[in-house]
Structure 1
């Protein structure tokens, strides 16, 4: 009977883990004049009669990935919607968008799309808690840059921001990942390159403006720029959670790291509301 009970418990847990609903939708971007594919993950309770509203986590993919990367490569991603009772939105950031509005290519306006158009679409079409206290953004690699870049630039939209193995300062990599296609060659535009890094956005915030979580593996090629960002935040007395752990720039690392980030966001979503004086 004991073994049968354990089997039943495991079966129930497995069913719950797969209960979230994963949809792929097309979201029209007025700024780019095109439909952009987006994965939306709804928690198991979304279809219940209670019709409750949910916090939202915007989860960004890396260079070479797409809107489906998280649900395909990190199999536990969908279950996070159930575990933390939130909606997860995974937009398509194209190849090498770095989630900013390119000053040299008008077809790449991914800051406008993600931080404005997609947020507005999500709040209009899903039962979200449509305030910054229930909205977070993070991602891996290029998406880690996007999570911090967009989060700091749109602190009135996102209350919690994160990065996993983020390319938070891409200046040490002037020939990599199509960045020159979006900003022009580094040698001719060093000031522009600096201005579009996530690290350069730090002066836009002060301590307490946003909750920040940064995570990078010690064998990751982005570890140095993450350490530099960490030190910059320390120097400015901006509170943040910073983690280094054994790991490289790969899905094994991100499939683990994303669980810590969602726990962090859940604690933020569920913090007591402090009445404004």
Structure 2
């Protein structure tokens, strides 16, 4: 799988090497009616965007303590992959520690509603997108990996393909970390909220081939074990998915290497929908 992906990536990149990156990177102000505030996002349109055709869209989520600008700043080559795979890339803001769900204890955090509904609608209204689940994907790193799978599992009418890189796909082993208790209450006080909102406990929402999935986590990552557990649970439920692991930790060198594979996987999925 990795050898094939590497070959395909090389072929696509070689075809693009004759000219420089032409993707356009914009910072836009979107609006969340549920939270009654403006929220920034980065939108990357590919080189041929002005040609008039509509494009598939991939939402790429940041991790804990990050923001909407992380991917564009820390992986400046991201525009090259928007060009290579001819897709619009949207990088939303997840407000430092939202974990991308609607907090049951803090009404100012409704980031499931924002990303899966309000932002998707805003992007579809303002850009030339293919407005169906078959041409809409979502992925992310760490907290964003949890968010991408969480939103895709719960909104299969919105997203047809989803990925995760070093995702916090089961945060129950980490009850004191990353402000999760601020969003859900402490595990001791509200264990049911933790059980209901962690990705690994949402696998029951899937049926075979209802959602295309690619999951990637480094073998030295502190989330490696929970990702392996999710992989095993998907196998047990007969849910097809790609699972990638290689040496690496929880850091930007790993994610910068992982994202092109995720975008290639999504491009392949989009092409199959024609």
Give how far 1:13 is off: 3.0
Q: Deviations over 1:171-228 (max 9, x none)?
A: 1111100000000011111121011011111111101100000000000000010000
The total of aligned residue pairs comes to 260
Among 28, 31, 36, the residue aligned to 2:31: 28
Task: Extract unaligned runs of 5+ from structure 2.
Answer: 1-13
TM-score under structure 2 normalisation?
A: 0.93
Q: TM-score under structure 1 normalisation? A: 0.92
1:134 and 2:135 matched: yes
RMSD of equivalent CA atoms: 1.2
Corresponding residue for residue 123 of structure 1: 124
Secondary structure of the residue that 1:187 maps to in structure 2? coil
**Cα distance, 1:14 vs. partner?**
7.4
1:139 and 1:47 map into 2 onto residues whose CA distance is 27
Counterpart mapping for 1:149-168 below 5 A: 149-168=150-169
* 3-state SS, counterpart of residue 272 of structure 2: coil
Is residue 134–residue 273 contact of structure 2 (8 Å, CA) maintained in 1? no
In structure 2, what is the Cα distance between the partners aligned to 1:74 and 1:53?
25
> Where in structure 2 are the equivalents of 1:208-227 lying within 5 Å?
208-227=209-228
Q: Deviations over 1:133-179 (max 9, x none)?
A: 10000000000001100001000110000100000010111110000
Tell me how far apart the structure 2 counterparts of residues 155 and 84 of structure 1 sit (CA, whole Å). 23
CA distance, structure 2, for counterparts of residue 227 and residue 81 of structure 1: 29
Gaps of 5+ in 1: 1-9
Provide the rounded CA distance (Å) in 2 between the counterparts of 1:212 and 1:163: 8
Whether 2:236 is the aligned partner of 1:232: answer no
Cα 1:98–1:14 shift into 2, 3 Å:
farther
